[in-house]
Amino acid sequence: MDRFVRNDVRNIAIIAHVDHGKTTLVDGMLKQSGVFRVNERVEERVMDSNDIERERGITILSKNTAIFYGDTKINIVDTPGHADFGGEVERVLKMVDGVLLLVDAFEGPMPQTRFVLKKALELKLKPIVVINKIDRQDARPNEVIDEIFELFLELGADDEQLDFPIVYCSARDGIAKYELEDEAKDLKPLFDTIINHVPAPQGYKDEPLQMLVTTIDSNDYVGRIAIGKIERGRIKRNQQVAICGKDGSVRNGKIVTLYTFNGLKREEVEEAFLGDIVAVAGLTDINIGETIADSQNPEPLPFVEIDEPTISMTFSVNDSPFAGREGEYVTTRHLRDRLFKELETNVSLRVSETDSPDAFEVAGRGELHLSILIETMRREGYEFQVSRPRVIYKEIDGVLCEPIELLTIDVPEGYVGVVIEKLGSRKAEMINMTSAINGYVRLEFKIPARGLIGYRSEFLTDTKGNGIMNHIFYGYEPAKGDIPERNRGVLVAFETGEAVTYGLYNAQERGSLIIGPGTPVYQGMIVGICSRSEDIDVNVCKKKHVTNMRAAGSDEALRLTPPFEMSLEQCLEFIAGDELVEVTPKSIRMRKRILNPEMRKKEAKKNK
């Protein structure tokens, strides 16, 4: 039987480093293909749909959309740029035949570009290079193209992949051109390049159905929705299908509703076939990586291997004196159900039971991966506590190995010394140093993942906010020995009550406070960062004794330094092994694992 070529469809993924303008480019493509009405008000970065994505300006979940250019339907998958969401990227690349590699005209290829491009080249996908932000004053497009070419060679691209077309773009202005000196008024050159260079899907449209599920969505009305590309055959509404599990099992199901993508909307259709990216509802227990196949002739498709988690944390039920005050879901059952539900859609996550019925071990691809999960749960009304992140060691050929990250740092020349010195003590090994571009030097290191825990905030302080750091998983190497932990102690509340100005005023002499007057505190809660290396108990609830004597100047107001407010990520990076972060919908508090000061001292003596 002849292979059928589906000329009216192109399937592409957009891959790029975080903040290189991926989602903005998709906005422009949607607007220029007539997806929105002329007078329709459209949000910026319309593809970043959840609140956390909008606030942080990053893409966390891959998104599907589709546009029509002439008679051709272009299915576009917008992928995350952060290495922590690499599991998302690896899966969605299975749905497409080509990739738009988007690179900033000043920054050039970054660690994340390398990571996603490597995955795409391994899958033999056809790349189109888009140099974005050509309107930047400091743009250096010609040098950036040389850097991209070197990266392709380094990643082992074949001759066909090395012959990539280049399009110059300003996603913000909605223009594209083939040569820098061309006039440009729209994105037509980009659309034409996609049609001419991305292979059309091909295969057998009249053979038994095969569709790999690469994404799971859910909807309150229809339940779980499986999204994937039809690799072979046809799929119809109300069709009886077989679901091939990853373990080789086969079970039956029925397609209740079938959708294709049009713009940002899903449209119900009766039938779809080879090359279409579709969403199907009605298969209640379907999972990522399973194949929807013909009920008479079920044949599974191979699934991409997802990289293993490198960092784990313990999530446990909140047992602080303030437990249950602010959260809606506070019990072990709530926590357990929510974590196991996350596994359905979050492929790089692992959740396991521990010796304690109230605690669960949660492993992910990095701190950001886990902190996004914590933030999402918090906003949903969950209340719980988490431990310090720990790296996951592996034994390879009898040698204890730990995860290593590839770290890229861009800093002004004046800060190079302090960065190299600090990273040296964290067991980092410098592998490259590139001379200054616009006064910035690029440093590249291999560093143990645990050496990065707690470093970001220190780095921002050391470089006075002028440095940029990015890191990506490199691989496992033999363990590198001890890395010094936090060098400052904490100020711990001595009793439960409400913090008052007088108590805080006395405490701030010992270090910097992280709470202000009027904050409810409990015994064992962390209220500040000590200026010395040991922990100090302070009484922030202590009021001034009232006497009938009036001393000169006693009425002068006590001056408090404004508290240093810490974000969730800063708290997770800051805490030591004997501390926890208590997370509720309204508050983030740090606390000692053992609240009672006497018991804490006994435990510390025992551990010494």
205 is in an annotated binding site: no
Helices 416-425 and 455-462: crossing angle, nearest 10°? 160
Q: Tell me, what DSSP letter sits at residue 134?
A: T
213 close to 223: Cβ distance less than 8 angstroms: no
Count of C-beta atoms within a 10 Å radius of residue 550: 8
φ, ψ dihedrals at 294, nearest 5°:
-65, 135
204 close to 232: Cβ distance less than 8 angstroms: yes
List of residues 6+ apart from 26 with CB closer than 8 A: 14, 46, 47, 65, 76, 78
21 is in an annotated binding site: yes
CA distances 314 to 53, 358, 380, 581, 607, Å, are: 25, 10, 19, 11, 21
496 is in an annotated binding site: no
d(C-alpha 508, C-alpha 537), whole Å = 12
217 is in an annotated binding site: no
d(C-alpha 95, C-alpha 101), whole Å = 16
d(C-alpha 160, C-alpha 337), whole Å = 48
How far is Cα of residue 385 from the mean position of the Cα atoms in its chain?
21
66 close to 277: Cβ distance less than 8 angstroms: yes
How far is Cα of residue 389 from the mean position of the Cα atoms in its chain?
16
Q: Which tokens hold the place of 585?
A: 């919908």
Instruction: Give just the sign of the alpha carbon dihedral 325, 327, 328, 331.
Output: negative
132 is in an annotated binding site: yes
Angle CA 84–591–460, to nearest 5 = 45
What is the rounded radius of gyration, in angstroms, for the C-alpha atoms of the chain?
A: 27
19 is in an annotated binding site: yes
22 is in an annotated binding site: yes
471 is in an annotated binding site: no
d(C-alpha 82, C-alpha 403), whole Å = 17
Q: Which tokens hold the place of 2?
A: 């002849």
d(C-alpha 272, C-alpha 66), whole Å = 15
d(C-alpha 501, C-alpha 541), whole Å = 8
76 is in an annotated binding site: no
d(C-alpha 128, C-alpha 608), whole Å = 59
20 is in an annotated binding site: yes
Bridge pairing between strands 399-412 and 429-437: unpaired
Q: Residues annotated as binding site for GTP?
A: 19-24, 132-135
Q: Residues annotated as binding site?
A: 19-24, 132-135
